[in-house]
Amino acid sequence: MKFNYYYGGQAEMFSFFRVPRILFTAPEFKDLSNDAKLLYGLMLDRMSLSAANGWFDSQGRVYIYFTMNEVMEVLSCGHEKAIKLLAELDTKKGIGLIERIKQGQGRPTIIYVKQFTDTKLPDLPKQSLQNPVYPSSVRRESIFADFPKAETNYTDINYTNNSYTYPSIYPEPEAMDEIEERIELDILKEEYPYDDPESLVELMAEVEQCSTPTIRIGRQSIPTPSVQHRFRQLGREHIEYVLDSMRDTTSKIKNIKAYLLTALYNAPITIGPYYSAMVRSTA
In this predicted model, what pLDDT tens digit does every residue of 98-132 receive, in sequence order?
A: 999 988 777 788 999 998 775 444 443 443 333 33
Structure confidence at residue 7 (pLDDT): 75
Work out the average pLDDT over 254-282: 75
Q: Is the pLDDT of residue 6 over 80?
A: no
Same structural domain for residues 139 and 188?
no
- The pLDDT assigned to 156 comes to 34
- Based on the fold, state whether residues 192 and 137 are members of the same structural domain: no
What pLDDT is recorded for position 163?
32
Tell me: do 121 and 180 sit in the same domain. Answer: no
Residues 123 and 56 in one domain: yes
Q: Specify the pLDDT at position 133.
A: 39
Say if residue 29 is in the same domain as residue 140: yes
Number of domains in the chain: 2
Q: What is the pLDDT of residues 186-234, one digit of tens each?
A: 999 999 887 888 888 888 988 888 878 888 888 788 888 888 999 999 9
Instruction: Let me know if residue 4 belongs to a domain.
Output: no
Q: CA-to-CA distance for 269 and 267, rounded, in angstroms? A: 6
Please indicate, yes or no, if residue 260 is contained in any of the structural domains. Answer: yes
138 and 186 belong to one structural domain: no
- Is 144 in contact with 208 (CB distance < 8 Å)? no
**Mean pLDDT on 77-93:** 93
What is the percentage of the chain residues whose pLDDT exceeds 70? 73
Query: Minimal CA–CA distance to 46: which of 108, 106, 94, 120?
Result: 108
Distance CA 210, CA 227 (A): 10
| Single residue among 98, 126, 144 that ends a domain in this structure | 144
Q: What range defines the domain where residue 234 resides? A: 173-282
Answer yes or no: is 195 within a domain: yes
Is the same domain home to 131 and 180?
A: no
- Residue 246 in any domain: the answer is yes
Q: Does 268 share its domain with 215?
A: yes
- Residue 146's pLDDT is 35
Check whether residue 201 and residue 122 sit in a common domain: no
Per-residue three-class SS string for the chain: CCCCCCCCCHHHHCCCCCCCCHHHHCHHHCCCCHHHHHHHHHHHHHHHHHHHCCCECCCCCECEECCHHHHHHHCCCCHHHHHHHHHHHECCCCCCCEEEECCCCCCCCEEEECCHHHCCCCCCCHHHCCCCCCCCCCCHHHHHCCCCCCCCCCCCCCCCCCCCCCCCCCCCHHHHHHHHHHCCHHHHHHHCCCCCHHHHHHHHHHHHCCCCCEEEECCEEEEHHHHHHHHCCCCHHHHHHHHHHHHHCCCCCCCHHHHHHHHHHHHHHHHHHHHHHHHHHHC
Residues 169-186: tens digit of each pLDDT: 456 677 888 999 999 999
Q: What is the pLDDT of residues 136-180, one digit of tens each?
A: 333 333 333 333 333 333 333 333 333 333 344 456 677 888 999
The 10 Å Cβ neighbour count of residue 191 is: 14
Query: Which of 36-40, 152-156, 254-258, 273-277 is the least confident region?
Result: 152-156
Same domain, yes or no: 126 and 225: no
Cβ neighbours of residue 248 under 8 Å, at least 6 residues apart? none
Residues 35 and 72 grouped into a single domain: yes
